[in-house]
A and B are shown apart, each in its own frame.
Chain A
Amino acid sequence: MKIRVLVTLKAGVLDPQGKAIHHALEGLGFAGVNDVRAGKLIELDVADGVTDEMVEEMCRKLLANTVIENFRIERPEPAA
């Protein structure tokens, strides 16, 4: 099963990379971009027995630094 972990900087934490990307977009002439925040997308291919709690623990222990980052776990939509 493929799980996606989205790691983003917490609100209020300065994001120099996002700022640089924003600046570059403006330099390319794209108007109307109010703000840019850069994060990380980590894809995990896990066995069926891996629980939500285990993935959360992976995020807290390694994938995100919760001092400055938030994480969101996305599981695939159950097949209809």
Chain B
Amino acid sequence: MKSAVVVFPGSNCDRDMAEALRIVGGEAPAMVWHRESELPAGIDLIAIPGGFSYGDYLRSGAMAAQSPVMRAVKAAAERGVFVLGVCNGFQVLTEAQLLPGALMRNAGISFVCRDVGLTVENSQSAFTARYARGETITVPVAHHDGNYQADAATLDRLEGEGRVAFRYAGEVNGSARGIAGILNETGNVLGMMPHPERALEPAHGRTDGRRLFEGLIEGILQPA
């Protein structure tokens, strides 16, 4: 399995993401700098990590979404390559219009950094195959702009098409309908604010994030 982690100036979860992919996938991912216009050939999975790309200037993820590497990510996503965006990565994916909606300042203004309960809403996607629908998992969040918003028609469509992957079990940041993570139409792009790569090993204090990587990598290695 060939994976890559995109690195922007200001990314700060890139190495955690790379470790998660290495530990679960058995192979270290390529680290791809934002100025690159091409991704490694034969890529199966691209991860957009958390952080504060470009200092969150203008809007979180806005500058990163316009970087050369994101054109390559868009093209790869259209070919069906899996794309996982976590935290700032989710913001980048919405700004790049690979996912609908926008992530705004948390409704309570404060940066939220704690474990949260997530309800798995869809266990049919490659990203959630190892979870049971309706299961509640615990994964940490650490964000200032995680308040997911979209117009009512978009929200209805996301729900109707089973594209809400994760919902907060309690109030976290004011997100519309408690949305924590969404899929694109074809199910190969997932954006989520919580950090599954920070809940991988017993030393992290929780391991609920590991199954996301296990299910995804298994799906890539042995397509159903």
Report yes or no: B109 in contact with A20, Cβ–Cβ below 8 A. Answer: yes
Query: In the bound complex, how far is the Cα of B70 from the Cα of A42, in angstroms?
Result: 25
Chain B residues near A61 (CB, 8 Å)? 66
Report yes or no: A68 in contact with B106, Cβ–Cβ below 8 A. Answer: no
The interface residues of chain A, by DSSP majority, are classed as helix
Could you tell me how many residues of chain A have their Cβ less than 8 Å away from some Cβ of chain B?
12
Query: In the bound complex, how far is the Cα of B109 from the Cα of A13, in angstroms?
Result: 14
Report yes or no: A68 in contact with B149, Cβ–Cβ below 8 A. Answer: yes
Task: Give the interface residue-count category, chain B.
Answer: 20 to 34
Chain B residues near A19 (CB, 8 Å)? 109
Chain B residues near A16 (CB, 8 Å)? 104-109, 147, 174
Chain B residues near A14 (CB, 8 Å)? 104, 107, 147, 149, 174
Chain A residues near B66 (CB, 8 Å)? 61-62
Q: State which of A17, A63, A65 has its C-beta within 8 Å of the C-beta of B95.
A: A65
Interface mask (A45-80 → B, CB under 8 Å = 1, otherwise 0): 000000000000000011101011000000000000
- Give residues in B with beta carbon < 8 Å to A: 58-59, 62, 66, 94-95, 100-102, 104-109, 147, 149-151, 174
